[in-house]
Structure 1
Amino acid sequence: MRNRYAVTSGLVGLLLSAGSAFGQNYEQIAKQIVNTSAGVKPGELVMITGGRHTMPLMEAIAVEVARVGGQPTMLVNTDKVARAVNVEMPESAIMASKDDSWLLSSDVLITLPSLEDSKAVLAGMTEARQGKFDKAAAEAGLSKKLDASKLRGVFVAYPSKSYAANQQLDYPSYEQMIWAGIGTDYTAVAAQAQQLKQLLTTGKKVHITSPAGTDLTLQLASRPVFTDDGVVTTADQQEKLIYSRTANLPGGRVYGTCQESSATGRLAASPATWNGKPLQGLKGELKNGQLTNVRADVGNDDVQKWLAANDASVAQVGFFSIGLNPAMKSEAQKGYNPATAAGMVYVGTGNNALLGGTNQATSGNSFPIANATVEVDGTVVVRNGQLVSPTLAKASSGGKK
């Protein structure tokens, strides 16, 4: 549920999400990424990042970038190095990257997961230590720099057997689902996304309920609403905010911020993971936007340590998302809740500056709400975890192994 990154690798973590790749035809998926999703043009500087386990696809992407006339550069991380930075480096040495010019000077960032086994890499990471990384990153002001840059990006998920094992997922089924998710009919997804974006852009109030006990209301504040349909279009490339210039594969979400002091009611999160460990039965009360009286049946100690290590702004509700991809499926009881799964709802707390919000907290979190019902000004858009609009029902999965 929480995404943790060292400051050096956290830059690429800004592009959201985690998962798996598009089968083993790397040349084919590289063409999709470079030409369709990223729209790489001759002469553009393209930074390709990932881990050692993602090298086959990274290489195929770099080759395709060169073939269309771009300038590819690859940046590779390993689990061993990541663990040294995250857990073993002296705390006195924790600071923001001294050189983010490689990112800010690039035209395109195509990033794959840098960690193969994040649970092993981050084992032993304390809330206090993570707080120092978060503070260093916040003080560097990267969010504003990214918004002001010309950068656009695509995050491509990639299969990891260790990730599937940590989530207790059947790896072949998980892998096939991700490929199918990337191959979804994004024309249909984009149509659904635009419908919801229009409703949320002009709407005033969002009401979210669930059988587990969630019953909360958010006030919209004429903030930007983002859609992720797997492609950074020419129009997207002209947008001011970095999240409007990014896409994910698998894609399929609509998301945005709410008035930070507006959330009221109750939150009952679906089972998830926290620092690689189970988190179950998390509940809290919402008043004036603040999540209070937070308790979990399983994983409560880690939650309390996180709250204690940060100021109150990390528990202020400030963003939400609705998944749109019909190929992506959650396994809620195992804590696997892909944000792109059709009908999956997330509510987030903490920093929302990159989304056009006002919360400048050094950290944040997001909570899945499975089987949710969502109303926008009384119009039901999700009912019991199912998208209501008929448009998405026409979307079909095109991914093949």
Structure 2
Amino acid sequence: MKNRYAVTGWLLGFILLGSPVFGQNYEQIAKQIVNTSASIKPGDLVMITGGQHTMPLMEAIAVEVARVGGQPNMLVSTDKVARAVNIEMPESAIQADKSDSWLLQSDVLITLPQVEDNRAVMAGLTPERDAKFAKVAAEAGLTEKLDASKLRGVFVSYPSKSFAANQQLDFSGYEQMIWAGIGADYTAIATQAQQMKQRLAAGRKVHITSPAGTDLTFQLVGRPVFADDGMVSATDQQEKLIYNRTARLPGGLVYGTCDETSATGKLAASPTTLLGKPLRGFKADLKNGQLANARAEVGAEDFQKWMIAPYSATDMRVGYFSIGLNPAMKPQEQKGYNPSTAAGMVFLNIGNNELHGGQNKVAAGYSFPIANATVEVDGNVIIRNGQLVSPEVAKAVPARKKSSK
């Protein structure tokens, strides 16, 4: 689902030691972001965006950019402003974002969350208004412009007390995990990401199962596969697609598209949220890549209203999948908290995948977490019960064949 601040996603809102004390050492975090993740060079025009609650880290990043010879610019929003744009702006005034021009002229975008309490900001948004934001964004053609630009970007998570409260997470533990995830061993993650990327890029068929009831397959057909290892290297900066020139912190993610019409089987998602409300016991059938017979124990009506009714069946085809690699990130499945970068976490997205090199042009989309999944590529297991399997083991131990009896 998209809105004024979600439409540009990582753009205006994309995704060390692991202790709370270090978590407040913004200067050291900024050095990692500027020098390692974004690789800022003298003369780079760097746009830094975020919300009022992220100002301490934004300021530290801007100072570090200046120290290495870059040109920092900061764009700060507040929850009140975000709500005014999303909810209070006259619907007749909703149009393509004119601020995209400065974005396309920048060398680097470093973006932090612009909204602190998304549930409060988005309260009262209607499906019709949300669909209009999505429509004007799609018509603006920003995807093609981003791919053609020189921009590279880093999305930095920032622990929010409001988010933790909404998810019923202990803030101290959640905050410590975020900083530990940002400070993970990205050299090891990069090696693992490249191995996983190569296996998927050479693969043809993916089979995903889970204890909750997921049992689906789709075809890869040589589509682009992306490896986000928390760093935008010199090689990454030369890539054509914008998602190959971006990274997130905490990082550690491999993702890509599939043949949009090929997904077949059953999807049983782990507990998650939709507009800050619980979505639990979600199940659906997949045929020709499209969702059918979608139902849920909790949140079915909201899902129908927001993700089914406004769009056609072909709009909501399977778009892309992702696999997390970061060992510091830990899901809390029963609370609906499933960070995509958590090692072994699998997500399946429906809807837009244009920035990923796919064919789904609709601006809307939704990602389903599949916890404790087993993932096979051409019969070789790369994830077993939510645990990553080394490439050597995956190659040596193929998936157990089902009995023919």
* Normalised TM-score (structure 1): 0.94
Deviation at 1:311, TM superposition (A): 2.0
* 1:385 counterpart residue number: 386
Question: Is 1:102 the counterpart of 2:99 in the alignment?
Answer: no
- 1:313-357 Cα offsets, whole Å, 9 max, x none, are 332012100000001000011100000000000001111010001
Q: What is the match of residue 123 of structure 2? A: 123
Contact 2:8 2:14 in 1 (8 A): no
DSSP 3-state at the match of 2:366: strand
**C-alpha separation in 2, matches of 1:365 and 1:32:** 31
Give 1:96 deviation, angstroms: 1.1
Separation (CA, whole Å) in 2 of partners of 1:29 and 1:100? 28
Assess if the C-alpha contact under 8 Å between 2:324 and 2:340 holds in 1: yes
SS of the counterpart of 2:309? Answer: helix
* Other-structure match for 1:11: 8
Shift in Å at residue 391 of structure 1? 9.2
| AA in 1 matched with 2:67 | R
What are the residue-to-residue correspondences of 1:2-401 with 2, within 5 Å?
4-6=2-4, 10-14=7-11, 16-17=14-15, 23-306=23-306, 307-389=308-390
Q: Which amino acid aligns with 1:342?
A: A
Deviations 1:227-257 (A, max 9, x none): 0110000000000000000000000010000
Deviation readout 1:30-74 (Å, 9 max, x if unpaired): 110001100000011000000000011101100111111100000
1:12·1:111 contact (CA, 8 Å) conserved in 2? no
SS of 1:155's partner is strand
Structure 1 stretches lacking a partner, 5+ long = 393-401
Partners in 1 of 2:392 and 2:77 — Cα distance? 41
Offset of residue 265 of structure 1? 0.2
Task: Indicate how the Cα distance of structure 1 residues 99 and 16 shifts in structure 2: closer, same or farther if over 3 A, else same.
Answer: closer
Q: Within 1, Cα distance between the matches of 2:99 and 2:68?
A: 28
2-structure distance, mates of 1:171, 1:129: 33
Displacement of 1:10 in angstroms is: 3.5
Counting aligned pairs with the same residue, the percent is 72
d(CA) in 1 for partners of 2:351 and 2:162?
A: 29
Deviation at 1:390, TM superposition (A): 7.5
Conserved? CA contact 1:314–1:365, under 8 Å: no
Secondary structure of the corresponding residue to residue 72 of structure 1: strand
DSSP 3-state at the match of 2:281: coil
Runs of 4+ in 1 over 4 A off after TM superposition: none
Q: Counterparts of 1:244 and 1:262 in 2: how far apart (Å)?
A: 24
Secondary structure in 2 matching 1:165: helix
Between the aligned partners of 2:14 and 2:339, the Cα distance in structure 1 is 11
Bigger shift: residues 183-192 or 272-281: 183-192
**2:127 maps to amino acid:** E
User: Per-residue deviation at 1:106?
Assistant: 0.1
Q: Distance in 1 between matches of 2:391 and 2:181?
A: 19
Partner Cα separation in structure 2 for residue 12 and residue 149 of structure 1:
17
In structure 2, stretches of 5+ residues that fail to align are 394-405
Does the 8 Å contact 2:116/2:160 carry over to 1? yes
Letter in 2 for 1:80: K
Deviations 1:175-222 (A, max 9, x none): 001111111111111111111111100100000000000000010010
Checking the alignment, whether the CA contact within 8 Å between 1:351 and 1:360 is kept in structure 2 is yes
How many aligned positions are there? 386
Structure 2 CA distance for aligned equivalents of residues 186 and 99 of structure 1: 33
- Deviations 1:288-321 (Å, cap 9, x if unpaired)? 1111111111011111112101222332012100
Distance 2:281 2:161 in 1: 27
The offset of 1:5, in angstroms, is 3.5
Q: Report if the CA contact (8 A) 2:37-2:231 is conserved.
A: yes
Structure 1 window deviating more from structure 2 (59-68 vs 308-317): it is: 308-317
TM-score by length of 2: 0.93
- The answer (yes or no) to whether the contact 1:109–1:153 under 8 Å persists in 2 is yes
Q: Which residue of 2 aligns with 1:398?
A: none
User: Judging changes above 3 Å, is the alpha-carbon distance between structure 1 residues 162 and 27 closer, same or farther for their aligned structure 2 residues?
Assistant: same
Distance 1:70 1:10 in 2: 27
| CA spacing shift, 1:168–1:391, aligned 2, 3 Å | farther
Mapped to 1, the partners of 2:98 and 2:240 lie a distance apart of: 25
Distance 1:242 1:333 in 2: 34
Q: Distance in 2 between matches of 1:374 and 1:201?
A: 15
Query: How far off its partner does 1:389 sit?
Result: 1.3
Query: Does the 8 Å contact 1:282/1:294 carry over to 2?
Result: yes
Whether contact under 8 Å (1:371, 1:386) holds in the other structure is yes
Q: Which moved more, 1:342-351 or 1:301-310?
A: 301-310
Write the distance in 2 (CA, Å) between the matches of 1:46 and 1:313. Answer: 38
- Whole-angstrom CA distance in 2 between matches of 1:254 and 1:325: 11
- Distance, in Å, in 2 between the alignment partners of 1:309 and 1:10 is 17
Amino acid aligned to 1:388:
V
